[in-house]
Structure 1
Amino acid sequence: MSAPKFSARQSNSSVSQHCLLPRFANCKSGPSAWERIMRTYTTRYVMAAALCSAAGSTLAIADEMSSYAVDITAKASSDIRTRGISDSLNRPGARVTIQVAHETGLVALAEFSTVSKKQFLDGDGLGVLLAGGYRFGDPDAWHYGVGLAAEMFPGAQFKAPNRFDFETFTPGDEHTTNYNSQFAVLEIGYGALEGRIARVLSKNYRGANSGGVCGAQLQFREDPTKGLECYAKGDQNSRGSMLYDLDYKYALGINTNLKLHAGYQQIANFSEANFADYGVGLVHHWWGFDWGLDWVTTKTRARELYMAEDDGHVRTTDGNRWVASISRTF
């Protein structure tokens, strides 16, 4: 996400100029009448000044509130992809993103996506991303961001053996693992070029442990060698994994932007789960909507890690694909 631009509203310094004292002239009253008039207008002046002060405070509060920017984006897609991998089993889905940004640089994000229950087992079919952090710098030049993020799939979990007994040649030590992950995020950008590095703080990244990675290789590969070699490393998790992303957006004119993306994930203790992903797309703004078309591709090492059973069929989720989308920001 590129650093948002903020146009801070300045306090209306002309407010006090509209609270002018009333003028009167050609007063022919005697001294006592003059004093009465002065007392009357003095009281009115004090009341006017108090009203001006109250109005100024109200405007200051309004200005403070106006320093927040809230963007809500609703998006429908022919496929929900994360780092080039389908989260919706190659089927259409929807995503809603809410971003709240303050002109000081504080930013918070909540994103809700539909996902496949056949990939995120026993779940509610929902993916949730929550993030918060701080951005600073010039959006048109060098800018930076730091933050924390959490990705959750409510209810989703799987059971798999995390060890393999090579003496009896049987799997064991079955664990239940969820797909939730937490990250520390660093963003560095220059103009329309955005770079992002995320480090996995949670025990696992999207369920990548011995049960998930080694078990999938035993399940979907005809040759069990790779799966057994994976189990031979012992009970491992993926804490400390690194995710890298580089994005660029170029304005082509006529309300059309070109998008370029390159990413790489480096999974701790499971090099077979490392892969690169790439994407190129166009977004056209028309009738208040953003119409998008993207080509996404991945270079995975072990395709069986990105397979899922679907009513007796095994489907891969890392294939090359055109993704069409329509979105609107409110």
Structure 2
Amino acid sequence: MTSAQSTPLAGGLSSFLLGALLATTLAAPALADTSGTATMAIDTEIKLLSDLRNRGISDSGRKPSAQLNVQLAHESGIIALAQLSTVSDKAFTDADGYNLLLATGYRWGDPDAWHFGVGLAKEFFPGAKFDAPHGIDLEAGVPVDFRRTRYDTAYAVLELGWGKLEGRILNVISRTYRGADTGGVCGQILAAAVDPTPAIECYLRGDKTSRGSMLYDIGYKYDLTPTTTLNLHAGTQRIRHFKEADFSDYSIGVTHQRWGMSFTAEWVTTRTHRPELFLIPDGNGWKRQDDDRLVVSVGYKF
């Protein structure tokens, strides 16, 4: 058996994080000044969350998290985003405790009608890595070929929206989706499952990566009052070569603007195929990161 490893999917990709990959495509366009010179709009936000959920999976080990977001939008349609978040070093083994997301892209269209966006994004997990077996010796019954995997992930993103209805498609262009390879997926099942049969079946497919995985989102926002918005979201993830790692997430929440701050309460639920892929070490046992949960947050823009 392998030693316990935190799963590479235990962070999954807060709905805000992956939404942020293309949130910039809906940024209000910067306006030109009276001289006709192009201008740039810069928005900075600090945010505190009771739990950093990413596609329904906790990145923060079901503990509070802090975020800093800086978004730039040029009137030409070019946009850029930098986001710094605190994460769990158990969800992302040996991590320095934070995640950096950088994104850039282009958006066009009418925010109140059809609008579109394309972009590239990459998230970095400084220090985060794990060593896991990428094969198994069936005769000896022991794992073999231990190799190191990192969590850094790159995406190509496409967005299509109508008014406040938004759809997004993300394609993983890096070698893995947050460390999901044969060592990360099969090794985690072997470490956490009671029955080793699913892990053996996983290993028998050969040494694979998750490049080419597809992530889909659809979201809708409805203004209940001038200061209160209803947020609806659904997403599904298809992890290439690892169907046991596929999962879907859903959320419903309300955001209220008051005193220059935004207050959000959101109910998040996730449907997974193999729960052991969404566990992290907790003392002598394991703790689920895909449980249903009410997440609250407060943000301030300046």
* TM-score (norm: length of structure 2): 0.90
In structure 2, what residue type is equivalent to 1:4?
A
Moved more, 307-316 or 134-143: 307-316
Q: Does 1:229 align with 2:201?
A: yes
Shift of 1:167: 2.3
Q: Within 5 Å, give how 1:47-62 maps onto structure 2.
A: 60=35
Shift of 1:168: 2.1
| Residues 1:90 and 1:100: Cα distance change in structure 2 (over 3 Å) | same
Q: Does 1:3 align with 2:26?
A: yes
In structure 2, what residue type is equivalent to 1:3?
L
* TM-score (norm: length of structure 1): 0.83
Contact 2:30–2:40 at 8 Å: present in 1 too?
no
* Aligned mates of 1:136, 1:270 — CA distance in 2: 35
Q: Within 5 Å, give how 1:294-309 maps onto structure 2.
A: 294-309=266-281
Shift of 1:7: 5.6
* Aligned mates of 2:193, 2:282 — CA distance in 1: 17
Runs of 4+ in structure 1 off by over 4 angstroms are none
SS where residue 252 of structure 1 aligns?
Answer: strand
Aligned residue pairs, count: 279
* Aligned mates of 1:168, 1:7 — CA distance in 2: 64
* Aligned mates of 2:37, 2:92 — CA distance in 1: 42
* Aligned mates of 2:213, 2:262 — CA distance in 1: 34
* Aligned mates of 1:194, 1:129 — CA distance in 2: 21
Shift of 1:73: 1.1
SS where residue 37 of structure 2 aligns?
Answer: helix
* Aligned mates of 1:94, 1:193 — CA distance in 2: 28
Shift of 1:122: 1.0
Shift of 1:6: 2.5
Quote the residue 1:132 is aligned against: 104
Shift of 1:97: 1.1
Q: For 1:286, which of 247, 258, 265 is the aligned residue?
A: 258
SS where residue 158 of structure 2 aligns?
Answer: strand
From the two aligned structures, give the one with the greater helix fraction.
1
Instruction: Note the aligned Cα RMSD (angstroms).
Output: 1.1
Q: Within 5 Å, give how 1:99-114 maps onto structure 2.
A: 99-114=71-86
Structure 1, unaligned runs of 5 or more: 12-59
* Aligned mates of 1:64, 1:88 — CA distance in 2: 43
SS where residue 174 of structure 1 aligns?
Answer: strand
Q: Does 1:178 align with 2:201?
A: no
Shift of 1:194: 1.0
* Aligned mates of 1:73, 1:174 — CA distance in 2: 41
Quote the residue 1:35 is aligned against: none
Q: Within 5 Å, give how 1:90-101 maps onto structure 2.
A: 90-101=62-73
- Larger RCO (alpha carbons 8 Å, 6+ apart): 2
Quote the residue 1:244 is aligned against: 216
Tell which structure's C-alpha radius of gyration is larger. Answer: 1
Shift of 1:103: 0.8
Shift of 1:254: 4.3
From the two aligned structures, give the one with the greater strand fraction.
2
SS where residue 168 of structure 1 aligns?
Answer: coil
Shift of 1:5: 2.2
Contact 2:30–2:41 at 8 Å: present in 1 too?
no
Q: Does 1:189 align with 2:161?
A: yes
Shift of 1:9: 3.7
In structure 1, what residue type is equivalent to 2:163?
G
* Aligned mates of 2:261, 2:115 — CA distance in 1: 28
Contact 2:30–2:73 at 8 Å: present in 1 too?
no
